Structure 1
Amino acid sequence: MLLDPFLDYAFMRRALVGCLALSLAAPPLGVFLVLRRLSLIGDALGHAILPGVALGAMVGGLSLVAMSVGGVLAGLAIVVAAGLASRGTGLREDASLAGFYLVALALGVVLVSMSGSGVDLLDLLFGAALGVDDGALLFMASVTTVTLVALALMWRPLVAETFDPGFLRHAGGGGAAWHLAFLALVVLNLVAAFHALGTLMAVGLMMLPATGARFWSGSVGGQVVAAVLAASAASVAGLLVSFHADLPTGPAIVLAAGAIWALGLAAGPQGSLLRRWARRPHLAG
C-alpha cells in the first residue's frame, strides 16, 4: 500500500517528486509570511495569479511556458499595485492586497469562461497533481533550486527585516528591496505549485506546514525544518490517500497538511493546547 503506487506507476513518481520539490521551497517562505503576520498574503497571491494563467492559456493554449509566464507577471503586477496603493493611501498592505486579489480572482474565472481554449476551470483551481508531466516537473525543480539559493543569499537581511524592519531601513540595508524580492519568490513558488495543486490549493502546501511549525520549534531555522518535514509528509500521505481512495489529489494533500497542523496545535512541544493545559496546575500552585 505504501510503496507499490510509486513503484508501479510513473505518474505517481512524477507527482511525488514534484510535490517533494515544492515541499522544500514553499514552506520556508510560508514561515517568514507567518512571522511577518502576512499569512493571508500567500492566499491572496495564490488567487491573483489566475488571470495571468488564463491569459497565458488564451494566447498559448495549454502551454506550460505561457501559463507560467502569465501567472508570474500577474502575481508580480498585483504585488506592485498593492504596494503602491498602500504607500499612496496609507492603507495596510494586506487590506490593499485583499481588494486586488478578489478582483483578480473574478477576472480570472471570467477569462477562463470566455477563452474557449479547452482549459478546465476545476484543474486551474484545484490542480491535477497526477497529471504532472516532465516539463512541469523540471519547472518545479528549477523554482525550488532558485528559491533555496536565493534564501541562502538573503537569509540574514530577511530575518533582520522580519523582526526589525526599522533597523534595516535606517542602516541602509534596503529593507523594501528585500521585501519585494521575498514576495517575488512567493509568487514564483505559487505559480510552480499551481501546476500540481491549482491556484486555490497551492497556498495550502506553503502555509499550513508553516503555521504548524511554531508548535514544534521556537527558532526560525527549526520552524523552517519542521515546515519542510510536515509538507513532505503531507505530500506522501496525500498522494497515497488520493490513489487508494480515489480522491482529488490536491485537496487530499492539503487535508493531510491540515491533519499535521492540527496535531501540532493539539500536542506540539511549543505552546500547544496540551502544553498550555499541563502548565496550569503548576502556575496555580
Structure 2
Amino acid sequence: MSLWSILVVPFAEYAFMRTALVACIALAVASGPLGTLLLLRRMGLFGNVLSHAVMPGAAIGFALAGSALAVLSIGGLITGLAMVLFMMIGTRFGEQREDVSLAAFYTASIGVGVLVVSLRGTNVDLMHVLLGTVLAIDVPALVLIVTIASIVVASLAFIFRPLAIQSFDPAFLRATGGSDIAYRAIFLVLIVLDLVAGFQALGTLLAGVPLLLPPAAARCWARRIGPLVGLSIGFGIVAGYAGLLASYHLNVPSGPAIACAAALIYAASTLVPASRILMTALKATRPI
C-alpha cells in the first residue's frame, strides 16, 4: 500500500471525509487563537467546564426536537451563555472561589445533560451527544461550523490586541481606557460560540479538544503570541487530519481518534523542553 493510498485516497474518494476535514480545519482556525489566549489567561479549566456547559441545552433541545441542528445549537448556546453569566456574577459578588464554582457547574452540567438525553433517547443518542459524529457531518452542519468559525475569527481580528494585552496585564488595559469586564465578557462569548461549533463535530465531551490541546502543545515550542497562534492552528489541523485517517483505516470512532492525535502531539511537544534541559545538563557536566 502506497503513501498516496494511505494519506490522500480516503479524502479524494469520499465526500464525507472531505466534509469532516473542512470542519476540522474550520475548528482549528477558530480555536487556535482563542485557545492561545485562554491558556495565557490560565483559564484552561474554565474552557473545559464551558465545553460541558453546552450539554444541558443541547440535551433539552434533543428532547424537544430530536436531532434538529438549529434547536441543538440554540439550546447549547443558551446554556453556555447562561453559564458565563452565572460564573461572572458568582465570582464577582458571591462568596465562593472560582475553582469551587467551576467544579459545581462542571458536575451539574454533565449530570443534567446525561439525565435528559437518557429519559428521551437511546444509548446511541447519548453517545451522539457526548462524542459527536464528525464523519456524519452534513452540509447544513458544515455551513454552521464554518459560519461560527468565521464570526469568531472576524471578531478576534478587531479586538485581538486588547484581548492579548488583557491576558498579560489587565491593569494596563484599564489604565489605557479599556473595559476589563466588557472584553472578558466578549472573550467568553466567543469561546461559547466556538464550543457550540465544536459540539456539532466532537460532542460535548470532546468539544474542548481543539481549544485546549493544540495551544498547549504550541506553548512547548514558542513564547511569542504570533508563533503560538500559528502553531496552535497548525497542530489543530494536523490532529484533525491524522485523527480522520486513523478513524478511516483502523475503523475507530473519529472524535476520540482526533482527541488522541491531539494528545500525541502534545505529549511529543512536551519532550522538546525536556530534551533541551537534558542537553544543557549534559553540557554542564562535561569536563573542561
TM tier relative to shorter chain: over 0.9
2:209 corresponds in structure 1 to: 204
Q: Which of 65, 73, 76 is the equivalent residue of 2:81?
A: 76
Which residue of 2 is the match for residue 7 of structure 1?
12
CA shift at 1:91, angstroms?
3.4
What does residue 123 of structure 1 align with?
128
Cα distance in 2 for partners of 1:177, 1:283 equals: 49
Give the Cα–Cα distance (whole angstroms) in 1 for the partners of residues 211 and 127 of structure 2: 20
Q: Which residue of 2 aligns with 1:236?
A: 241
Return the TM-score normalized by structure 2: 0.93
- Give the aligned partner of residue 142 of structure 1: 147
Shift of 1:114: 1.6
Structure 2, unaligned runs of 5 or more: 1-5
Instruction: Give 1:112-191 correspondences, 5 Å limit.
Output: 112-116=117-121, 120-191=125-196
Deviation at 1:172, TM superposition (A): 2.8
SS of the residue 2:57 aligns to: helix
Secondary structure of 1:49's aligned partner = helix
Contact map agreement 1:61 1:117 (CA 8 A) in 2 = no
Instruction: Provide the C-alpha distance between the structure 1 equivalents of 2:250 and 2:34, rounded to a whole number of angstroms.
Output: 31
User: Structure 2 counterpart of 1:172, which letter?
Assistant: G
Residue 59 (structure 2) pairs with residue 58 (structure 1) = no
C-alpha spacing 1:262/1:117, structure 2 compared with 1 (3 Å): closer
Deviation at 1:169, TM superposition (A): 2.4
- Using the alignment, how far apart are the partners of 1:166 and 1:98 within structure 2? 28
Q: Deviations over 1:57-94 (max 9, x none)?
A: 12222111100010011001011101111111253334
1:275 maps to a residue whose letter is R
CA contact (8 A) 1:78 1:97 kept: no
Q: How far apart in 1 are the matches of 2:255 and 2:220?
A: 24
Aligned-partner residue type, residue 128 of structure 1? T
Indicate the residue corresponding to 1:45 in structure 2.
Answer: 50
Letter of the structure 1 residue corresponding to residue 135 of structure 2: L
Distance in 1 (CA, whole Å) between partners of 2:181 and 2:87 is 14
How many residue pairs are counted as aligned between the two chains? Answer: 281
Asked if residue 257 in structure 1 is aligned to residue 262 in structure 2, the reply is yes
Which consecutive residues of structure 1, in runs of 5 or more, have no partner in the other structure? none
Letter in 1 for 2:78: L
Label 1:230 to 1:280 Cα distance change in 2 as closer, same or farther (>3 A). same
Measured at CA, do residues 241 and 93 of structure 1 come closer, stay the same or move farther in structure 2, by a change above 3 Å? Answer: same
Once residues 91 and 169 of structure 1 are traced to their aligned partners in structure 2, the CA distance between those partners, rounded to angstroms, is: 25
Q: What is the match of residue 3 of structure 2? A: none
Structure 1 window deviating more from structure 2 (108-117 vs 97-106): it is 108-117
**Aligned partners of 2:201, 2:224: CA distance in 1, in Å?**
30
Please state how far the C-alpha of 1:282 moved relative to its aligned partner. 4.3
The answer on whether the counterparts of 1:58 and 1:117 sit within 8 Å (CA) in structure 2 is: no
How many angstroms apart in 2 are the aligned matches of 1:117 and 1:281? Answer: 58
Deviations 1:185-215 (A, max 9, x none): 1111111011111111111121110111111
Q: 2:23 aligns with which of 14, 18, 26?
A: 18
Per-residue CA deviations over 1:126-152 (Å, capped at 9, x if unaligned) read 111110010110011001111111111
1:228, 1:94 → 2: CA distance? 28
